[in-house]
């Protein structure tokens, strides 16, 4: 009866699964809104020194808490960590190695690194991955780790010098299959003033780029950083990635590029006004060509 009609069933919902989903939504609300009255009351009683994801069912628990733990069990199957500063992520027990599915390194850990945190794998100055530490503790997961890009925690420093209004055209040579197979992204940007005069143009490349969307986000981050160096105060930013422009306009979170999105939004506070606009790829050929040249410069260079 619970089978879909096109498979010969009656299309009824599986009541047990439906109930688990509703309980999982309640557990998610407690996790994502810790300031709510319900979350604060439950935290005070059942998990005062941890998050709900580290909590467990205790003897004498209320019927409601027992059901919330059933919802948490559903969350455990699909929830993972996005790497920011890594202060609270435990390397050997928390799912953090993928933005697509829960993925935990396979141990066992040594006595020396059993309490290792993800922050211990980051360079404390740049918040980039420390390759020496990765190769010491998790050599078999180096590629998976380098595909994750932590947020760089940009300082929100005010601009002192006055600048001009600017316009950025940004893109990359989006050969999606090539990015996915080589894990190399090429990014290009052009910065113009309000009269169309080119103030700056450039391109770069980066290994261990997980997707074309990540390369687009990295290009915007790089372009905003260059605009900051030019002391521009107001910008219109054009990108030929409709998905990325929509995410930046709506404040949506995209797990795959969460760290870079955080950096972009921090940089965006330096410009007022700042608008993100979509531009068709055919109208963005100059930036595409720069991105292509950045990708070509990578040819023949060994990744270290």
Q: Does 9 score more than 90 pLDDT?
A: no
Q: What is the DSSP string of 75-123?
A: HHTT--PPPSS-SS-BTTTS--S-SSS------PPPTTTTT-BGGGGB-
Same-domain pairing of 44 and 98: no
| Mean pLDDT of all residues belonging to the chain | 78
* Predicted local confidence at residue 40, as pLDDT: 93
* Predicted local confidence at residue 125, as pLDDT: 79
Supply the range of the domain harboring residue 275. 166-297
Cβ atoms of 193 and 167 within 8 Å: the answer is yes
* Predicted local confidence at residue 69, as pLDDT: 92
Same-domain pairing of 113 and 30: no
Same-domain pairing of 123 and 239: no
Same-domain pairing of 241 and 125: no
pTM, 2 dp: 0.61
Question: Quick check: is 155 in a domain?
Answer: no
Question: Quick check: is 263 in a domain?
Answer: yes
Confidence of residue 209 (pLDDT cuts 50, 70, 90): confident
Question: Quick check: is 161 in a domain?
Answer: no
Q: Which of 38-42, 48-52, 79-83, 151-155 has the highest mean pLDDT?
A: 38-42
* Predicted local confidence at residue 298, as pLDDT: 62
Q: Does 35 score more than 50 pLDDT?
A: yes
Only one residue has tokens 């799912």, namely 95
Percent of the chain surpassing pLDDT 70: 85
Which tens digit of pLDDT belongs to each residue from 53-93?
888 888 888 888 999 999 888 888 888 888 878 888 889 98
Same-domain pairing of 188 and 279: yes
Please state the domain count of the chain. 3
* Predicted local confidence at residue 159, as pLDDT: 20
């Amino acid at each position: 009866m619970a089978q879909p009609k096109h498979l010969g069933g009656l299309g009824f919902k599986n009541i047990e699964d439906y109930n688990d989903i509703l309980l999982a939504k309640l557990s998610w609300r407690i996790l994502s809104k810790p300031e709510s009255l319900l979350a604060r009351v439950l935290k005070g009683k059942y998990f005062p020194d941890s998050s709900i994801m580290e909590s467990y069912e205790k003897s004498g628990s209320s019927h409601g808490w027992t059901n919330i733990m059933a919802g948490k069990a559903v969350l455990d199957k699909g929830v993972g960590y996005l790497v920011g500063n890594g202060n609270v992520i435990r390397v050997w027990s928390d799912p953090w190695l993928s933005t697509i599915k829960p993925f935990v390194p396979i141990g066992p850990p040594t006595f020396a690194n059993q309490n290792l945190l993800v922050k211990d794998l980051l360079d404390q100055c740049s918040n980039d991955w420390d390759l020496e530490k990765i190769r010491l503790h998790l050599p078999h997961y180096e590629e998976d780790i380098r595909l994750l890009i932590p947020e760089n925690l940009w300082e929100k420093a005010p601009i002192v010098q006055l600048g001009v209004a600017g316009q950025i055209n940004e893109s990359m040579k989006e050969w999606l299959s090539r990015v996915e197979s080589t894990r190399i992204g090429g990014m290009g940007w052009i910065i113009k003033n309000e009269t169309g005069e080119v103030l700056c143009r450039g391109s770069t490349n980066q290994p261990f780029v997980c997707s074309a969307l990540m390369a687009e986000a990295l290009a915007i981050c790089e372009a905003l950083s260059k605009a900051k160096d030019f002391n521009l105060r107001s910008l219109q930013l054009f990108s030929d990635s409709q998905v990325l422009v929509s995410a930046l306009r709506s404040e949506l979170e995209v797990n795959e590029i969460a760290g870079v999105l955080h950096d972009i939004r921090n940089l965006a506070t330096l410009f007022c006004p700042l608008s993100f606009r979509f531009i068709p790829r055919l109208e963005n050929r100059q930036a595409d060509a720069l991105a292509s040249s950045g990708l070509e410069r990578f040819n023949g260079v060994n990744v270290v």
